[in-house]
Structure 1
C-alpha cells in the first residue's frame, strides 16, 4: 500500500481534532519578525505558459517531474524584489556581523511546492537555499526527501539567492530562459558580484513566507514554523548566516539544518541547529566537530556519500529535459553507495519540528570513528562508528564515501558488491541475512535515526531479496537499481509498491532460473521477460493517462529496457 494514502487518512483525523485544540506556541519560536527583516514585493504565481521541455522554456527551471496534483500538492513560482543590505561577515564565531550598506535593488525567484489544502499542511516550511555548485540552481534536499516531504505534509520553498544560480553563464536561470527570467538580478546591476547580498535576500524570502504582505506565496496556508535548510555549499552559506547574521536578520527562522556541509557554528543562539553529514564529509569535518548541546546536534552517517543516487535520480532527467548536460566523468570506482542517507534526513526533519514545537531534543549519535582525520575501517573496508543504517551494517557490498576520478567523483563515494563467495560465507541462508538486518533496522528506528515508514521499505526489500538464497548477478544488481527508481518516480501514482514488486518478481525468476539451469532457466527467463514487459506496459499506460510525466516514464522504460537486454534468450 502506498504510504501516502495511509498518511492522508491519518492527517484528516488529525486536522479534525486540531480544530478543537488550542495551538501552543513553539518553545523556541523567535520573536515577532516584522521589525527586523524587510518584506519584499511578491509577484505571482508566475504563469506557466509552456509545458516543461518546451523550446520557449517559459516554465520554472527544473520544474518537478512528479505529478504533485495526485498527492494534493502544487508547484508555483514567484518573483520577489526589494532592496538588500550588505554585511561584514568576516567576524569571529560568536560575534555578530555589522552592516556595510543598504538599498541595493534585487529581483529573484522562489519556487514553492506545498499542500493545496490546509488539512494536509503540517505547518512547517522547509526553506532551502538552492545549491549552485554545479553552475545552476539545484533543489538538493527536495530531491533527496520529496516522498517524506509530501507524506508528512511539509511545504518546501527553494530560494535563488546567488549570482551563479540566477545570472551565471550558461545555466543561471536568466541565461537559460531570458523570456521568463530576463528581469532577475541579484548583483545590484553588476556592481556586487560576490553574493554579499545573498544573506539578506534569503532572509527577505523567508520573511515573505513567514509574514506575508500582499501576495501570499503559500496561498491559504499559514506557516507556523520555518526551517532554513541547505546542502553542501548552501550549508556553508547558512554557516555564515548563523555565525554572523542570525541575531541581525534571522528572525523569520525557527531552526536550521546544515546538510553535508558547513563548518563550526556558534552555540549561543536561541534556535535549534541540526548538522548532518555523510561519510564523504567526515575527514574535512573532523576539525569542525562540536559536542551536542540543548540546541545543537551533529550526526554522521557511515557509508553514505556527499552526492548519491538520489541526487542523480532527481537531477539527471530534469537536466536532460531542460537542455543542460549533466556533470559526467569516469570515476575510479563504481559510484553511489546504496546507503539511504535520505532516511536519516527525513528523521532529522521531524526531530527538528518537535525540537521547535515542543522542546524535545533529538537523540545524539556516535561519530564515525577516526584517528586524526583518517576514517577507521573494518576488514571489508567499511567505516566504523557513525549512524549505521541496516543496509550498511549488514553489508552485501563495500559502501564508502570515498572515490576519485573526473568531475565530481570525489563526492560520489563508491559501491563495490562483494564477491559471491563472500556473500555465501557471510549469509549461508536467507534468514542469516534478514535476521541481523531486521535487528539493526529495529535499533535505528528505536534510536530515532529512521522513521517507521522508511523502515517498512527497508524491511520489505530485505525480506524479498535473494541474499542467502541465490546469487545476485549483474542483471540482479541492475534490476535493484530499477526497483529504487520505481519507488522514486512512481510514488505519486500510488502504484510504486505494485510495480516495484514486478521488478522484484523478475529478480526472483531470473535467480531461480540461474540456480537450476537448463530448460528450467529458459522457462524462468521467459516468465521473467513477460513480467518486466508488463511493467513497461503499465508505466507507459500511466504516462498515457497523464498520471506519470514523460520524463519519469522514460527513465523507467530506459531502465527496464537495459535490464531486458541483459536477459539471455
Structure 2
C-alpha cells in the first residue's frame, strides 16, 4: 500500500471509529477491546492575572500576548482511572496491563487559535518535561512563533509525579489553592510513574474524542502529534515501543526531540527523531536507518538546552517565585545556532506525512568515529544538518561543555577572534553571500522553512561581519538583546521597529570600538539615545497591553545593563 493510500485509510479509520463509538467516549482497539477512555474534563479553570500573589493562575502561563495573534491560553483539569503497565519488554514486544482502576486528576494547558478558521487542524500534544523538578513547556518555548503563525494548537500534558506532586516545585506544592486536588499517584499508592502513559493517552483522547467539556473549544482535531523533549522523549520512546499497539490510537505521529533511544519499526504511524549535537555521542548506538515511517535528523552546532530555554523559562520562574538552576560552566554556554528552525520544519513535514503520505527528506548524520564527533580546524562538528549560522562560521558553536549543574547540556559558544573574522570575511559581501546561499539550500533541502531562512538572511545583511570592526562585550550584550527582542516582541507587532533600533546600537558600538576617541564618544551618545528610546517604546507597549510585564522587564533590564557599561 502506498503512503498516500495509508494516510487516507488512516483518516477513514479514525472517522469511522469516531462515529461508531461517540456515545461511549471510547476508541476500540483492533483486537476488539476498549483501548483509551476519554476522561472527564473540567474547565476552563478560572484564573487570576499571572504573577498574582495568590498563585491562582496556570503554572508557567506564557508571557506572550496571545490575543494579538488570535490565540488563547486555557487550563483544564482531567480525571479518570488509569492502568498500570509493564513496559519492561523486549523491543518489538507489547507491554501488558498490571492493574487497573487507579484514580488520577491532572491538568492540561491549552494554547490554541480562537477561531476555527485560523486552526490548521493539527494538535501538538507535548508531554511536559520534569527534569528540573517542575513542568516545562520546552517545545512551546522553542517554536511558539511558528505554532502561532501557522495555526497549530499546542497542549501541554502534566503526566508525571515530579511535575504534579514533586517537592518543592511540583504543581501542588507551588499552588495548593489551584492544584491541591491534583494527583497522579492514586493517593500515593503508585509512585513510579507507571500511570503516566495511560494518563497521557487519555489526555490525547480528550482532545480527539471529547465527551463533555471540549478543551479545544470549537476546534476539531484532525491530527494529533505526540511530542516530547529530552526526558519526555524518553517517556514517549517507552510509549511507542511497549504501548502504542495498546493505547496509541489517538496518536497520528510521534516526535522525539533530543531524547529517546531506539524505537520499534513495525508501527503504522510516522516517528521522527530530532537531536542536537550534544545528544549525538550517547545516541550513536541508537541510530537507526530511515524507513518510509521513520526519520532521524541531527543538527550540528546545537545544544541539548540552549538560549531558547533560557529566554522562555528565566523570566517565568522569576515571576512564579522559583529559583533557577545555576552553575558555572567550563566554557561559555549556549550555541547561537537556531535549532528551533529545524523543529518548525519538522512539524510541517509531519503534517504532510500524516495527511498526504509525503515522506520528509533524509539528512546526513554528524560525522563520528565511534562515539567521538569529528571536528574541523575551528572545533566545529563535521556533517549533520548545517544551518547557515553554523556553515558560515563566526564562532565555535559546539554541543559539548562541562561544569556544574546541567552544564553538560548547555553546549559552547565562543566567538572567533576579530583577526580570524577579518581573514575569513574581508568584506561584508563575502559573508552575506554564502549565508544567503546556505539559507537557500537548507530551504531547498527541507530542513528550514522559508520564513525562518528570511530572518537568517535579514540578520546577516544587517550584521557587522565583514566590516572590519570588532564586537566588544558590550556589543555582544547588544547582540543578545537583539535575540531577546525578537523573542519577547514577536506577538506585539512592534518587533521589526525595535529590533532595528538594537541593530543600530550594535553597529554604533562596533564602530566606536574600532576607532575610539571622539568617534567612540559620538557612538556612545547615539547608543544612549537609541536605547532610551527603545526603553520608552517597550514601556509604552506594556502600558497599552501589547506586551506583558514579564517581557517588558526582560527587555528593559537588558537595555539598561548595556547603558550601565557605557562611560
| 3-state SS in 2 of match to 1:118 | coil
1:144-165 CA-to-partner distances (Å, cap 9, x unmatched) read 0001000100000000000000
Query: Is 1:405 matched up with 2:428?
Result: no
| 3-state SS in 1 of match to 2:440 | helix
Q: Quick one: which of 66, 71, 94 aligns to 1:96? A: 94
**1:69 alignment partner in structure 2:** 67
Query: Is 1:548 matched up with 2:547?
Result: yes
CA–CA distance in 1 between the matches of 2:41 and 2:519? 66
| Paired residues for 1:76-225 under 5 Å | 76-225=74-223
Give the deviation of 1:27 after TM superposition.
Answer: 5.5
1:359-395 CA-to-partner distances (Å, cap 9, x unmatched) read 0000000000000000000010000000001001111
**2:464 alignment partner in structure 1:** 466
Superposition RMSD on alpha carbons, in Å? 1.1
Whether contact under 8 Å (1:27, 1:359) holds in the other structure is no
Give the deviation of 1:476 after TM superposition.
Answer: 1.6
- More off after superposition, 552-561 vs 519-528: 519-528
| Paired residues for 1:132-531 under 5 Å | 132-469=130-467, 470-531=469-530
Q: Structure 2 length as normaliser, TM-score?
A: 0.95
CA–CA distance in 2 between the matches of 1:516 and 1:540? 33
| Paired residues for 1:31-50 under 5 Å | 31=14, 32=17, 34-35=27-28, 36-48=35-47, 50=48
Whether contact under 8 Å (1:27, 1:358) holds in the other structure is no
Q: Structure 1 length as normaliser, TM-score?
A: 0.94
Give the deviation of 1:521 after TM superposition.
Answer: 2.2
1:313-350 CA-to-partner distances (Å, cap 9, x unmatched) read 00110001000001100111000000100000000000
Give the deviation of 1:475 after TM superposition.
Answer: 1.6
CA–CA distance in 2 between the matches of 1:400 and 1:152? 30
Residues 526/133 of structure 1: CA separation in 2 closer, same or farther (3 Å cut): same
In structure 2, stretches of 5+ residues that fail to align are: 1-5, 19-26, 29-34
Whether contact under 8 Å (2:7, 2:354) holds in the other structure is no
Residues 26/497 of structure 1: CA separation in 2 closer, same or farther (3 Å cut): farther
CA–CA distance in 2 between the matches of 1:495 and 1:190? 49
CA–CA distance in 2 between the matches of 1:151 and 1:284? 35
Whether contact under 8 Å (1:108, 1:160) holds in the other structure is yes
Whether contact under 8 Å (1:131, 1:137) holds in the other structure is yes
| 3-state SS in 2 of match to 1:99 | strand
Give the deviation of 1:193 after TM superposition.
Answer: 0.2
CA–CA distance in 2 between the matches of 1:313 and 1:516? 33
**1:5 alignment partner in structure 2:** none
Residues 445/27 of structure 1: CA separation in 2 closer, same or farther (3 Å cut): farther
Whether contact under 8 Å (2:471, 2:513) holds in the other structure is no
**2:22 alignment partner in structure 1:** none
Give the deviation of 1:26 after TM superposition.
Answer: 4.6
Aligned length in residues: 544
Whether contact under 8 Å (1:28, 1:272) holds in the other structure is no
CA–CA distance in 1 between the matches of 2:503 and 2:519? 19
1:464-515 CA-to-partner distances (Å, cap 9, x unmatched) read 0000102222222111110110011001111111101100011112222333
| 3-state SS in 2 of match to 1:185 | coil
In structure 1, stretches of 5+ residues that fail to align are: 1-23
Give the deviation of 1:567 after TM superposition.
Answer: 2.5
Query: Is 1:533 matched up with 2:522?
Result: no
CA–CA distance in 2 between the matches of 1:524 and 1:275? 47
CA–CA distance in 2 between the matches of 1:162 and 1:542? 38
Give the deviation of 1:25 after TM superposition.
Answer: 6.9
Give the deviation of 1:202 after TM superposition.
Answer: 0.1
